[in-house]
Copies of this chain bind each other. A is one copy, B any other.
Amino acid sequence: MSKTILERRLFGPGPSNPYPEATSALGLPLLGHLDPEFIARMDNVCDGLRVLWGTKNSRTLPLSATGSAGMEAAFVNTINPGDVAVIAINGLFGERMCEVASRVGAEIVRVEHDYGTPIDAERVAAAHPNPKVIAGVHAETSTGVVSDIAALGAIKGDALLITDAVTSIGGMPVLADEWGIDVGYAGTQKCIGVAPGLAPFTISDRAFERRVAKPQSWYLDLGLLGGYATGSTGGKRTYHHTAPVAMVASLEAGLNRIQAEGLEAVTKRHQEAGKALQDGIQEMGLELFAAEGHRLPQLTTVKVPNGVDSAKVRSYLLNRFNIEIGGGVAQYADTVWRIGLMGPNANPASVALILASLKEAIDKA
Contact = CB atoms under 8 A, between A and B. Distances in A.
Interface of A: 1-3, 5-8, 10, 12, 14-15, 17-18, 23-24, 26-27, 29-33, 35-38, 40-41, 44, 64-69, 72, 96, 99-100, 103-104, 187, 189, 195-197, 214-219, 240-247, 250, 252-253, 256, 318, 324
B2 A15 contact: no
A187 B219 CA distance: 14
A104 B219 CA distance: 12
A30 B72 contact: no
Contact of A242 (B1, B15, B100, B242): B15
B26 A26 contact: yes
Contacts of A12: 32
A316 to B, nearest CB: 14
B68 A189 contact: no
Given A68-B242, A195-B246, 17 more contacts: A2-B40, A15-B32, A26-B27, A30-B195, A66-B241, A66-B244, A67-B241, A68-B218, A96-B218, A103-B214, A103-B215, A104-B216, A195-B245, A195-B247, A196-B244, A197-B244, A216-B216
Contact of A217 (B2, B72, B241, B253): B72
Contact of A69 (B24, B197, B214, B219): B219
Given A15-B33, A99-B218, A100-B218, A242 B66 contact: yes
A105 B22 CA distance: 41
B219 A324 contact: no
Contact of A37 (B5, B23, B31, B241): B5
A344 B105 CA distance: 46
B100 A44 contact: no
Contacts of A37: 2-3, 5
B65 A243 contact: no
Given A32-B8, A64-B65, A66-B64, A2 B252 contact: yes
A212 B293 CA distance: 45
A242 B187 contact: yes
